[in-house]
Amino acid sequence: MSRLGMVVYHGIESGPELAEYGRIAEGAGFDSLWVTERYFHEETFSLLGYLAAVTRTLRLGVGVVNPYTRNPALLAMAAATLDRLSGGRLVLGLGRSEPAVIQDKMGIRYGKAGAAMEGAVSLLGRLLAGQRVSATAGPFRLSNAKLSPEPIRKTPIYLAAIGRKGLRLAGAIADGVVLNAYVPTSYVGYAVEEIRSAARAAGRDPAAIDISCMLVVRLTDEPQRLYPGLKRRLARLLDEDFVGEILLEKGGFDPGILPPLRAAYRSRDEDTAAKLVTDEMVRAFYVIGPADTCKERINAYRAAGVDAPLLLPRLEEYRKVAEALRD
């Protein structure tokens, strides 16, 4: 049976509103509901706790938190608590965030992200398995630490990844992967191969690594009307160093647009930067169009290797997308 999830975007104003999103997803037959973490917006685990109380069957995913703002010990406490309250429905997504937020805005030392992620997964895995832990892993150290009451199971840990190192780390140590939003299907094919290859190299079953991908959805009969705004959003994404290169190169587009795009964007000429984003790129990076077109795109991501597409609409379109695109 194919799996399909929904993602709740930011802007939740009340508990009843959040509960309604949970009821919509569960009633429409989706298998999972995810929340994302955006700094200085709604607190992620609070949202998940509320959703655990108002849903019964949905897997509840966080995509994603990081081990800098929440030490692995605190993450283990949150995961074990939510897993118990939800009856074993939590999926814990971890990502590395970025120095501009962790270090520059919050004053938390960032260090080597790969070592932090590997260390966090190691410690989390042992704590969530009910073990008593005295160990140093990456930048983290625990002494005589044990969760009480014991976890009801080892909560699955998914890693967010975009580059080769992150993808291969996920394949080697994680239960699953959350691929970045705004990725073309040809990039997905590359990412899946890196993940599976790393799993094989680590002596793991490649098919056991669950691959999710957030898909930004715009359900519309007039997609061209949305293109100007979507191009500006893509220009902002492609302005990110390394991200722009890998998404364009592996997505089958010319990375040669990046120098002029970034020069324009960084001089605050967003209109010129957006003009370098083509209509074809919008169609490749978004799931956009009428329902039949969107369903074809979702199936294309499945064919590229995504086990669980996660639909990310705007809040005002959440119900419409859930009802139109459910399997």
Together in a domain, 166 and 230 = no
In this prediction, residue 324 carries a pLDDT of: 97
Judged against a pLDDT cut of 60, whether residue 175 lies above it is answered with: yes
Return d(Cα 27, Cα 33) in angstroms, integer.
12
| Tokens standing for residue 178 | 């959350």
Judged against a pLDDT cut of 80, whether residue 193 lies above it is answered with: yes
Together in a domain, 228 and 214 = no
Together in a domain, 151 and 244 = no
- The residue type of 254 is D
Averaged pLDDT of the chain:
96
Together in a domain, 175 and 201 = yes
Together in a domain, 189 and 244 = no
In this prediction, residue 327 carries a pLDDT of: 77
In this prediction, residue 304 carries a pLDDT of: 97
Strand partners, 18: none
In this prediction, residue 2 carries a pLDDT of: 83
Together in a domain, 158 and 270 = no
Give tens-digit pLDDT for 223-280: 999 999 999 999 999 999 999 999 999 999 999 999 999 999 999 999 999 999 999 9
- pLDDT tier for residue 295 given thresholds of 50, 70 and 90: very high
pTM for the structure as a whole: 0.96
Together in a domain, 282 and 168 = no
- pLDDT tier for residue 148 given thresholds of 50, 70 and 90: very high
Considering only CA atoms, give the Rg of the chain. Answer: 20
* Percent over 70 (pLDDT), the chain: 100
Q: Are 265 and 240 in contact (CB under 8 A)?
A: no
Q: Are 177 and 161 in contact (CB under 8 A)?
A: yes
- Which residues span the domain enclosing 230? 222-287
Together in a domain, 65 and 12 = yes
Judged against a pLDDT cut of 60, whether residue 39 lies above it is answered with: yes
User: Which is more confidently placed, 39 or 272?
Assistant: 272
In this prediction, residue 49 carries a pLDDT of: 97
Together in a domain, 101 and 228 = no
Domain count, the chain: 2
Return d(Cα 172, Cα 118) in angstroms, integer.
10
In this prediction, residue 87 carries a pLDDT of: 97
Together in a domain, 123 and 91 = yes
Alpha-carbon torsion 248, 249, 252, 256, what sign?
A: positive
Judged against a pLDDT cut of 80, whether residue 182 lies above it is answered with: yes
Together in a domain, 243 and 174 = no
Judged against a pLDDT cut of 70, whether residue 1 lies above it is answered with: no
The CATH number given to whatever domain includes residue 90 is 3.20.20.30
Together in a domain, 145 and 261 = no
